[in-house]
Amino acid sequence: MAKEVFMPKLSSTMEVGTLLQWLKEEGDPVEIGEPLFEIMTDKINIEVESYEEGVFLKKYYQVDDEIPVNAVIGYVGEENEEVPDEPPELADEEESSDAGESAEEAEQPAAEQPEGSATDKVRATPAARRVARENNIELSSVSGSGPKSRVHEQDVVEAINTNRATPLAEKIAADKGVDLSQVQGSGARGKIEKADVTGYAAAQTEPTEEPERVKLKGLRKAVADKMLESTQSIPHVTLTSEIDMSQVIDVRKSLLPVIEKQTGYRLSYTEIIIKATAHVLGNHPKVNASLVGDEIVMNKDVNIGLAVAVENGLIVPSIPDADKKGLAELTEASKTLGLKARDGKLSPAEMSGSTFSISNLGMYAVDGFTPIINPPETAILGVGRIVEKPVVVDGSVEVRPMMVLSLSFDHRAIDGAPAAAFLTELKDRLENPYGLLV
């Protein structure tokens, strides 16, 4: 008997997966554990392996399709075994109460179903639902051409193209030679009105280059949703402090060849800042805390999340027990995690568990900024560039390499004084970094 291939749910927040590529084609033999396809979730790219052996009989989706979790996307079974032409319909959440319905009841013709029962809900393929949703079309107004009046994608497309314009809009379009299929309607359910036709006709007299439009999806959408959630739900307060990096520069210069010989990686200022931050967090448990529901969780471990820019988004891998690692270990860990993040090869474990995050924009012409907290953490440190400035030292003006640190904290969990105390101790530690080596 043919076995379904499902879109897996790989995290508690995952709702859809984007199909990146098929690794097997219809008719190919499949062994247990062989990769079938690759998907992009809201966190990572991952190859999905087969749980069955046999022949890959059917694939229902194309590359770049966004597929709901738990949807059937294909079948594996015996050669020439029959499988459905369309993927089984994924029940909506409101239909979940019907899960106990018997197979016999589920297969009854529509005419035999009791009036007003849950089965009166519109039957439609996932593709049809997607097109209807994108075009603001009520599926109940579309006549389905499939079995039991199931609505297919083509049915929705035909409904969109039927009665799309008001009579006046059609007349103006005919007078001006406007192709209504090229006009975007602003009326109810996308209906084309007079203003839409006249506006389109006027725009054609002064042709302009269409801007590129990129759909907000995958990792970019996940980052956008998380940033919106953070800024809307967390009262951010940001403190800034200027750090004299003279001694940090000396420490890095001294240790650079030693650590590079030991690890194969070059020590950067980021690892020294991680080391100092992890050391100071041990004295300030409120800054290393997490806010979960109505509880402030005082974390015992110091796990530093390091923001890494990748294509179309931002990933924050975690360095566990950063306070217990030396600069060589931190250098190897941060460089390895950064490479894996940019290659899309981080595991879920490597992207979870951080108790405090650092976002370093020091490689750009940025002095200071307001970093956004990564919930459920209660604070995040923003790092700016190192730039030479005239400063007063012991009554004399000297040029020193200065760097701005920006600490954003959740005012629900941390008051200003504890946050200021943490930032003050971190400034002292970076300006006297040799204590980190003791």
Q: Cβ distance 269 to 290 under 8 Å?
A: no
Query: 425: buried, middle or exposed (CB in 10 Å: 19+, 13-18, 0-12)?
Result: middle
Taking alpha carbons only, the member of 383, 254, 271, 283 closest to residue 336 is 271
- C-beta atoms surrounding 138 within 10 Å: 10
Q: What is the CA radius of gyration of the chain?
A: 29
Site of tokens 């460089």: 335
**Pairing relation of β-strands 356-360 and 72-77?**
unpaired
8 A C-beta contact, residue 308 and residue 338: yes
Annotation says 415 is catalytic: yes
Integer distance in angstroms from the first to the last C-alpha of the chain?
Answer: 66
Q: Are 290 and 297 in contact, with CB atoms under 8 Å apart?
A: yes
Cα 231 to chain centroid, rounded: 16
Q: Helix or strand or coil: residue 31? A: coil
Q: Which residue out of 65, 98, 236, 411 is catalytically annotated?
A: 411
429: left (phi over 0), alpha (psi -120 to 50) or beta: alpha
Measure the CA–CA gap between 196 and 213, rounded to whole angstroms.
21
The three-state DSSP-derived secondary structure of 253-277 is HHHHHHHHHHHCCCCCHHHHHHHHH
Is 411 tagged catalytic? yes
Catalytic site residue from 301, 343, 415, 428 = 415
CB 302 within 8 A of CB 288: yes
Encoded tokens for 364: 């750009």
Structure tokens at 148: 């039991």
Instruction: Please give the structure tokens belonging to residue 350.
Output: 């490597």
The answer to whether residues 245 and 403 touch, using CB atoms and an 8 Å cutoff, is yes
Residues labelled catalytic: 411, 415
